[in-house]
Copies of this chain bind each other. A is one copy, B any other.
Amino acid sequence: MSDNYRSMWTELGLDLESHDALLGVLGNAYQEIYLSQKNRPEGMAYFDFVMSEVHGLRIKELMDEKAAGRKIVGSYCVFVPEELVLAANATLVGLCSGADFAMEEVEKLLPRNTCALIKSSFGFKLGKVCPYLESADMIVGENTCDGKKKAYESLGQLVDNLYVMDLPQVKSENGRALLQNEYFRFKTAMEALTGVKITAESLKAAIGTVNAKRAALHRLAALRKADPAPISGLDALLSNQVFFYDNPARFTESVNKICDELENRIAEKKGAFPAGTPRILVSGCPQAVPNWKLPFIVETSGAVIVGEESCVGERGTRNLTDASGQTVEEMMAAIVDRYYQVDCAIFTPNPDRLAHIEEMATAYKADGVIHYGLQFCQPYLMEAMPVEKALEEKNIPCLRIDTDYSMEDAGQLKTRVEAFIEQIKG
């Protein structure tokens, strides 16, 4: 990393020593998990570069945008509509929450029995190692699960720019009205933050930009239906993870370039793994960078992951926003419609999610589903039990995993995953 970055990080208030340690661990993990893979698409070199510069060049770009007067908005959830952020001439970035950091400090503010994702978000703040968080002009929290909802009360004591978005728990008339009200309130907040009024023109352009990102991932996802799978689950997950960080246009272009390459691979029957490799659909909690534990275990145990039913995956990206509206109101309605379909486990009941899992299992020809639950994530852990039952009634084998970010259970997980893969091969 250049000295430039060090002074930038210092200005952002990062703890350089801790941050160096974090980047060291991240670099080693990336080497071991990603760069050691065989038969990778050449286009993944772009994402390798992005990851090598994830706290460097990308932050420099954000700082340059800020210097030019553009605002940065940080988020922890797919319910924060990027369309409105872009239309107000701001940039949306996902905030760090994929690794344990400063846990001793975190557990002074949050109960030990809090899910790893939430604890991680606090750890990155308390450890002063997240340049995205520190560069953000506004941090958007959302009332999804109890854990996040209550944690934001404490996060609000640690930062002075937290904005909390309320969300419904039921898809009812009132629930939809709440989402709509909250999105209009967020639109106003974006306009106030940037001083830029959202117009029909800027909103249409923003919808186009975000839809293009999503469409590129749809194209990537569809190519994973092939056998042999042309790309590893790890690499596909990384694309879904970088979706939250990267410059949108560049991201779209890079994913489409990989898709061009994958189409050629498919024509040549070339894959990341041999044809006939057992195929796994992962379903459940989000996997934020650098939480690659489960896919690494799966793909070094003789199977390939062909889809992610996850916020960092199809749950987050599956639907486009209707761009046909002519007025701000029409497009706002389309945005509400689009996000209202997200089948997060915070909703009760949530039948669409099970239907989507079954649909994905069929579409991607999965031999089995691994339900990925973060320990203490009540909504997904509770939904996992009926999901498993429903899948097994349809003869779709399902393995329920309940884990955190530590590596303590890696051996045990690998044993369970290997046994599951043997089972679905049989």
Q: Which chain B positions have C-beta within 8 A of A178?
A: 174, 178
CB distance from A320 to the nearest CB of B (A): 27
Q: Which chain B positions have C-beta within 8 A of A376?
A: 113, 376, 378
Interface string of A101-134 (1 = CB under 8 A from B): 0000000111101100000000000000000000
Q: Which chain B positions have C-beta within 8 A of A147?
A: 146, 378, 382
Complex CA gap A152/B170 in Å reads 13
Q: Does A153 contact B (CB under 8 A)?
A: yes
Are B174 and A170 interface neighbours, CB within 8 A? Answer: no
Instruction: State which residues 364-390 of A face B: CB under 8 Å.
Output: 375-376, 378-379, 381-386
Are B348 and A149 interface neighbours, CB within 8 A? Answer: yes
Are B381 and A113 interface neighbours, CB within 8 A? Answer: yes
With both beta carbons as reference points, the residue of chain B lying nearest to A156 in the complex is identified as B349
Instruction: State which residues 331-354 of A face B: CB under 8 Å.
Output: 345-346, 348-350
Q: Which chain B positions have C-beta within 8 A of A108?
A: 385
Are A110 and B143 interface neighbours, CB within 8 A? Answer: no
CB distance from A285 to the nearest CB of B (A): 13
Which of these, B114, B345, B382, contacts A378 with CB under 8 Å?
B114
Which of these, B150, B164, B174, B177, contacts A166 with CB under 8 Å?
B174
Are B181 and A150 interface neighbours, CB within 8 A? Answer: no
CB distance from A168 to the nearest CB of B (A): 8
Given contacts A376-B113, A402-B111, contact A146 B143 (CB under 8 A): no
Given contacts A114-B378, A153-B348, A174-B181, contact A385 B164 (CB under 8 A): no
Interface centre among A157, A172, A382 (most CB of B within 10 A): A382
Interface string of A144-178 (1 = CB under 8 A from B): 01110111111001000000101101101011011
Complex CA gap A154/B147 in Å reads 21
Complex CA gap A84/B271 in Å reads 64
Q: Which chain B positions have C-beta within 8 A of A378?
A: 111, 113-114, 145-147, 150, 376, 378
Q: Which chain B positions have C-beta within 8 A of A174?
A: 166, 174, 177-178, 181
Given contacts A143-B169, A143-B348, contact A111 B382 (CB under 8 A): yes
Complex CA gap A145/B345 in Å reads 13
Complex CA gap A174/B143 in Å reads 14
Instruction: State which residues 59-115 of A face B: CB under 8 Å.
Output: 108-111, 113-114
Are A386 and B153 interface neighbours, CB within 8 A? Answer: yes
Given contacts A172-B166, A348-B153, contact A110 B146 (CB under 8 A): no
Complex CA gap A213/B295 in Å reads 57
Complex CA gap A145/B346 in Å reads 10
Complex CA gap A110/B178 in Å reads 30
Instruction: State which residues 223-250 of A face B: CB under 8 Å.
Output: none
Are A154 and B386 interface neighbours, CB within 8 A? Answer: yes
Complex CA gap A378/B119 in Å reads 13
Are B143 and A170 interface neighbours, CB within 8 A? Answer: yes
Given contacts A143-B169, A166-B170, A378-B378, contact A152 B348 (CB under 8 A): yes
Q: Which chain B positions have C-beta within 8 A of A110?
A: 382, 385
Complex CA gap A111/B378 in Å reads 8
Are B166 and A149 interface neighbours, CB within 8 A? Answer: no
With both beta carbons as reference points, the residue of chain B lying nearest to A164 in the complex is identified as B348
Given contacts A111-B385, A181-B174, A378-B378, contact A345 B166 (CB under 8 A): no
The 3 closest A-B pairs by CB, nearest first: A150-B382, A146-B378, A111-B381
8 CB contacts below 8 A, A to B, read: A108-B385, A143-B348, A146-B379, A151-B382, A174-B178, A177-B177, A178-B178, A376-B376
Known: A113-B381, A157-B386, A166-B172. 5 other contacts (CB 8 A): A109-B385, A113-B375, A143-B169, A146-B147, A167-B169
